[in-house]
Structure 1
Amino acid sequence: MTSIAVIGAGIIGLASCRALKAKGLDVTLVDRQASGEGTSYGNAGLIAGYANSPLASWQTLKQLPGQVFSNTPSISIDPRYTLSMAGFSVRFMRAATASRFQRHYRDLNVLLEHAVEAQHGLLDSLDEPSLWSDSGCLQVIRNDTRLAARLSEMAGSKQAEGIRCEALGAAEVQALEPELNDAGLLGGLYFPASRFLRDPRAVCQRLWTQLAEQGVQRINDHVECLRPRQGGGWLLEHGNGTHGKETTHFDAVVLCAGLANNHLLKSLGIALPVVSERGYHLALSTPLALVRPVGWLAHHFYATPMANGVRLAGTTEFCAPKQAPDTRRWHHLKNWGQELFGRSLSPSSQWLGVRHSSPDGLPVVGQVPGMPGLCLAYGHGHLGVTLSALTGELVAASVAGEALPEFAAALAPSRFLRGVGKKDIIKR
């Protein structure tokens, strides 16, 4: 039986283990963190089938100057991180051109069409319906009459892509979510078929429990180094320094460790333009009778009713992953939340996590050219939860040597490796 190591115990790694195990493969999960920690814990919990527009667009580029000079930016770039983002930035600007944006837009729409169904299937298989809700999602517009005037047009665009979406006036939004502040509320978009997680970490923990029952093994260690094994397969050097380092052999390896993948790939001579895009959240102790996630489009954040209270989550911060938190972002989230709900809010905890984002808005999923048995699954940006089940299915098909669907070609690592030179790919 083929032995597979899946590195990374977040939702992407767990979904990959699930799909690989379903094909009868011998699967070992490797991570020193508990399942569902990191970004898989702290996100907004959205199954965002409606988020079908890549970040790399002319619209984003137009907004950047205003964000840079804003006192309350929802998108920011740390100047100290610009050198690390050089390759990403060039490709981001290319991806924002009209022709490439349209291509990536089409690719993302096809991807999401398949992903939502796959994700619902994964969640349903957990047999724990209390962990999610099918009550839909709202995106609201406040104090922006020009954007409010385009609500019908925006809803029509979503409908044309097969997404269930309704344009609502202020009174209709208020009827759905009476907790919202009616002052300045102009309307919103309603996605009635949208599902969201009420406890993202518990979803991951439940999934791991099932995997362990199915015989998936686990190594609770940090992977220090990855190298090809003479004669085939891969060697993982792992250890936390307490009990020394160990080396374990696997026939194939799937890298699902988020931004940590870059460190492992660097030792193999590969550099991909996947960068750190940090997000923040505040958990509230203030009770709010919120039924569904509510996003405020102007500030790129959501208020999601989680099992332990409402979570304010979002913003985009391109910054070194280990840089000290920008505490102003938690302050901004609180202020935006207080304006959204029209009342004082009390946070119970705060969190910072590192997303891993690609320049074209599509994840990096598939085999690394010239490296048999090495598969990547990262770069999901804001769509990690949404795309996780489908990513797992693509990973499993790739490792098993099966034919991949046509849309998988847009996700292949090779799209970022063309023309970089032979030195960047190790061949055995």
Structure 2
Amino acid sequence: MTTIAVIGAGIVGLAVSASLMARGHRVHLYDPNVPGEGTSFGNAGLIANYATAPMASLDTLRSLPRELRRPDASLSVDRRYTPSLLGFGRRFLSAATPARFARNKAALIALIEDAVGAQHALLDALDVPGLFADTGCLQIVRDNDTAAGLDGVAAAKRRDGVECRALTAEEVRGLEPELNAEGLRGGVFFPGTRHLKNPLAVSQTLRRRLESQGLRWHRSRVHALTAQRDGGWRLSTASHQARGEGGGHPHDALVDRVVLCAGIANNALLKALGVQLPVVSERGYHISLQTPLALSRPVGWLAHHFYATPMEEGIRLAGTTEFSASASSPDERRWERLRHWGSALFGRPVSLGGRWLGVRHSTPDGLPVIGAVPGHEGLYLAYGHGHLGLTLSAQTGRLIAAMIDGDELPGYSANLSPGRFMGDRR
């Protein structure tokens, strides 16, 4: 029986642990924080079957200057973080060329197709009523938006294999009467999109299930990895301590394999091994609304890149993109923008029930980093999922488990390899 350390206990780390344990491996999960309480808690909760186009494209490059100049921009770049984005930016430009965009999009479409089925299977296997809903999702357009025609948007998604249809404003309101009718142009409906009612409850349920099957969770931070001459890895860790009690008790552990699922925190562990990948901090914000609203499904406002999702806590408005250091102070204006956009979306003032900020980990080509690290036997990566961590988590687990066991892999897995960023410096 192989002993494997999974570092990082978000939804990706939990899903990787589940796949490895299903194949009979002994899994030790390391995270100083409670599983699922990080970015896996704060997302919009969608299993995004519609997310078939990487961000790096000529269309994005054309729209980027205008977006960055907008006073209410949903995308921003912290100037202090710019030096950390130089390698990312060069590769983003390269990935946006038509040939590379087409290649990356084909890989993403195939990955999404497998991932949605895997994620549904994982959620269904939890067998807990009320964790999710299969009511589809809407993406809406208003009069002041500059989005393309809705029929064209829907047709493009159907060419990618995604079931959807364009709706008139009246049809959108028929599905969601709470939406502001003034200025509503229409929308696109994706009937096959599932959403979570409580992302944290999903992670907690999965963690408890895995612990009952033998998962060992160590509330410890791994601060160093050392390859052993005879194979395997030594983990140097410090156990969690309550605030004010110091750094915890250091100890080492020996394992056969290591899978890094710790998001942007992976970069520090990799740097110590001489590995640097262009995975950067892309922060997202959400607010929860106290205002009672009868919303049946997630509604995305395309122009502002956010979703309003009905959850147990009420409506959650989640999204936007901020390239900034993970530890920098929150931009208070982003929460206010979400509140303002929420008022416009529903045509009434909305009151806040809570605020949240989390750190995504994003790649320049829009594909996650999943696979073995060249030159470091027994070390695997599972991060760089950007906005799709929840959607891709179960399939990420299946891919990692297949790689470790030497099984045949889908063709697109080569496009996800860490090696794609280690051969050149573009």
CA positional deviation for 1:60:
1.4
TM-score (ref. length: structure 2): 0.97
Name the residue aligned to 2:3: 3
Q: Retained in 1: the 8 A contact 2:369–2:384?
A: yes
| Structure 1 residues 145 and 18: CA distance shift in structure 2, 3 A | closer
Q: Retained in 2: the 8 A contact 1:325–1:352?
A: yes
For residue 267 of structure 2, the aligned residue among 262, 267, 270 is: 262
SS at match of 1:82: helix
Name the residue aligned to 1:134: 134
Structure 2 letter corresponding to 1:63: S
Q: Retained in 2: the 8 A contact 1:42–1:351?
A: yes
CA positional deviation for 1:98:
1.2
Name the residue aligned to 1:143: 143
SS at match of 2:155: helix
In the TM superposition, what whole-angstrom CA distance separates every residue of 1:175-197 from its partner, at most 9, and x where no partner exists?
00000000010000000111011
Structure 2 letter corresponding to 1:199: N
Query: For residues 186-201 of structure 1, what are the structure 2 equivalents within 5 Å?
Result: 186-201=185-200
Q: Retained in 1: the 8 A contact 2:49–2:192?
A: no
Name the residue aligned to 1:53: 53
CA positional deviation for 1:99:
1.2
Q: Retained in 1: the 8 A contact 2:147–2:303?
A: no
CA positional deviation for 1:114:
0.6
Structure 2 letter corresponding to 1:414: G
Name the residue aligned to 1:117: 117
CA positional deviation for 1:11:
0.3
For residue 378 of structure 2, the aligned residue among 366, 373, 382 is: 373
Name the residue aligned to 2:368: 363
For residue 396 of structure 1, the aligned residue among 396, 401, 415 is: 401
Structure 2 letter corresponding to 1:157: A
Structure 2 letter corresponding to 1:96: A
Name the residue aligned to 2:23: 23
Name the residue aligned to 1:98: 98
SS at match of 1:404: coil
Structure 1 letter corresponding to 2:394: A
What do you get for the CA RMSD once the two structures are aligned?
1.1
SS at match of 1:354: strand
Name the residue aligned to 2:234: 235
CA positional deviation for 1:32:
0.9
Counterpart CA distance in 2 for 1:248 and 1:313 is 38
Q: Retained in 2: the 8 A contact 1:43–1:313?
A: yes
Q: Retained in 1: the 8 A contact 2:146–2:303?
A: no
The answer on 1:315 being equivalent to 2:320 is: yes
Counterpart CA distance in 1 for 2:402 and 2:192 is 29
Counterpart CA distance in 2 for 1:25 and 1:259 is 26
SS at match of 1:292: coil
Counterpart CA distance in 2 for 1:244 and 1:195 is 42
Structure 2 letter corresponding to 1:36: G
In the TM superposition, what whole-angstrom CA distance separates every residue of 1:337-360 from its partner, at most 9, and x where no partner exists?
000000010101100000000000
TM-score (ref. length: structure 1): 0.96
Name the residue aligned to 1:42: 42
Name the residue aligned to 2:242: none
In the TM superposition, what whole-angstrom CA distance separates every residue of 1:84-140 from its partner, at most 9, and x where no partner exists?
111100000111111111111111111101110000000000001301000000000
Q: Retained in 1: the 8 A contact 2:363–2:384?
A: yes
SS at match of 2:60: helix
Name the residue aligned to 2:167: 168
Greater Cα shift, 236-245 or 409-418: 236-245
Counterpart CA distance in 2 for 1:207 and 1:63 is 40
Name the residue aligned to 2:202: 203
Counterpart CA distance in 2 for 1:380 and 1:115 is 12
Q: Retained in 2: the 8 A contact 1:145–1:186?
A: no
Structure 1 letter corresponding to 2:183: G
In the TM superposition, what whole-angstrom CA distance separates every residue of 1:202-245 from its partner, at most 9, and x where no partner exists?
00000001100110111111111111112110011000454421
Structure 2 letter corresponding to 1:305: P
CA positional deviation for 1:146:
5.9
Query: For residues 282-361 of structure 1, what are the structure 2 equivalents within 5 Å?
Result: 282-361=287-366
Structure 2 letter corresponding to 1:152: D
| Structure 1 residues 258 and 291: CA distance shift in structure 2, 3 A | same
| Structure 1 residues 20 and 147: CA distance shift in structure 2, 3 A | same
Counterpart CA distance in 2 for 1:230 and 1:58 is 47
Q: Retained in 2: the 8 A contact 1:81–1:318?
A: yes
Greater Cα shift, 178-187 or 235-244: 235-244
Structure 2 letter corresponding to 1:73: A
Instruction: Give identity over the alignment, percent.
Output: 55
SS at match of 1:83: helix
Counterpart CA distance in 2 for 1:279 and 1:46 is 15
SS at match of 2:361: strand
Name the residue aligned to 2:211: 212
Structure 2 letter corresponding to 1:350: R
Greater Cα shift, 106-115 or 65-74: 65-74
Structure 2 letter corresponding to 1:194: T
Counterpart CA distance in 2 for 1:373 and 1:210 is 27
Unaligned runs of 5+ in 1: 421-428
SS at match of 2:220: coil
SS at match of 1:84: helix
Counterpart CA distance in 2 for 1:168 and 1:67 is 26
Counterpart CA distance in 2 for 1:317 and 1:198 is 25
Unaligned runs of 5+ in 2: 240-245
Counterpart CA distance in 2 for 1:90 and 1:147 is 27
Counterpart CA distance in 2 for 1:331 and 1:81 is 23
Counterpart CA distance in 2 for 1:217 and 1:30 is 9
CA positional deviation for 1:161:
1.8
CA positional deviation for 1:33:
0.6
Counterpart CA distance in 1 for 2:372 and 2:288 is 38
CA positional deviation for 1:401:
2.1
Q: Retained in 2: the 8 A contact 1:144–1:186?
A: no
